[in-house]
Amino acid sequence: MTRAALLLALVLAGGCERLSEVGRPPALAAMDSPTADPRWRNVSMPMPVPQEAPASANSLWRTGSRTFLRDQRAAAPGDLVTVLVSIQDEAQLQNRTERERTGTDTLGIPRLLGLETSLTRLLPNAVDPSRLVQTNGEQTTNGTGSIRRNETVTLRVAATVAQVLPNGNLVVAGRQQVRVNHELRDMTVSGIIRPQDIASDNTVRHDRLAEARIAYGGRGTISDVQAPRIGQQLLDVILPF
C-alpha cells in the first residue's frame, strides 16, 4: 500500500501544474531579461588575440565604425535585432540490414595420457570421451529502417543582445509567446551573430547564427490531446520490453 501511495503521489506531483490550469488558458511568461533566468550562463568561445587600433587623430573615420553616421543596428547589450527564421529541410533515408550465421561445434578427448579412463568415476558409464561437448548455434537478423522528413518553418522573432564577446560577436536571445483561445504557442531563438551579418534593416538570417537554438512549440488543449498521458510516458520509460 505504501508503494502504491508513493506512485500515486509522484503522478499527482507531475500533473499538479497542469491541474492548476484546468478551466483556464495557459499563462503567459513574464517579460524579463534573459540573464535573469537561473539557468543563464555567459557564453565562452575561443577569441582571437586582442589588437590595439592605431591612433587616427586627424581622420574622420572612427575605428570600428561601419559608417560616418551613427549605426542604428544592434551593437550593445539591450539592443534589439530581428531574427528571420526560414527553414525548409527535406531528408529521406532508407537502410536495410540482413545477417545470418550458422555454427556447429564438437569437442572430445579420445586420448589424454590415459586420464580419459578416469571420466567414468565422475560421469555416467555411458559417457563417450570423443563426444564430450557438442553445440549448435543459429542466428538470423533482418532489419529495415526508413526515415522521411519534410519540415518548413518561417518565423520572425525579435531578439535582445545579451552579451558582447571580446571579438565583437553578439550573443542574442529572444522569446515570443502567442495565445489563441486555450492554445499557447512559444517561440524561442538564441545564438551568436557577427555585427557585419546584420542587414541595414536590423535583421539577421537564422543561418548566420552560430550555436543556434531555435524552438517552436506550445501547450494547451490541443497539445494535450496530441500528447500521450503521463502514465503512458512513465511506462514507456520503465518497461524493459
Task: Please indicate, yes or no, if residue 173 is contained in any of the structural domains.
Answer: yes
Confirm if 162 and 189 have CB atoms less than 8 A apart. no
How confident is the model at residue 20, as a pLDDT? Answer: 67
Confirm if 173 and 193 have CB atoms less than 8 A apart. no
Task: Please indicate, yes or no, if residue 73 is contained in any of the structural domains.
Answer: yes
Task: Please indicate, yes or no, if residue 99 is contained in any of the structural domains.
Answer: yes
Tell me the pLDDT of the chain (241 aa) as tens digits: 566 666 556 555 555 666 666 666 777 777 777 788 888 888 887 777 776 766 666 666 666 555 666 678 888 888 999 999 998 888 888 888 888 888 887 777 777 676 766 766 666 666 677 667 777 888 787 888 888 888 888 889 999 999 999 999 999 999 999 998 888 999 999 999 999 999 989 999 999 999 999 988 888 888 888 878 787 877 777 877 6
Q: How far is residue 172's CA from residue 50's CA, in Å, rounded to a whole number?
A: 22
Instruction: Give the β-pairing of 203-205 and 183-193.
Output: unpaired
Give the range of the structural domain holding residue 241, as residue numbers without chain letter: 68-125+145-241
Model-level pTM? 0.61
Overall domain count for the chain: 1
DSSP string, 78-124: T-EEEEEEEEEEEEEEEEEEEEEEEEEEEE--S-STTGGGGHHHHS-
Task: Please indicate, yes or no, if residue 167 is contained in any of the structural domains.
Answer: yes
Task: Please indicate, yes or no, if residue 136 is contained in any of the structural domains.
Answer: no
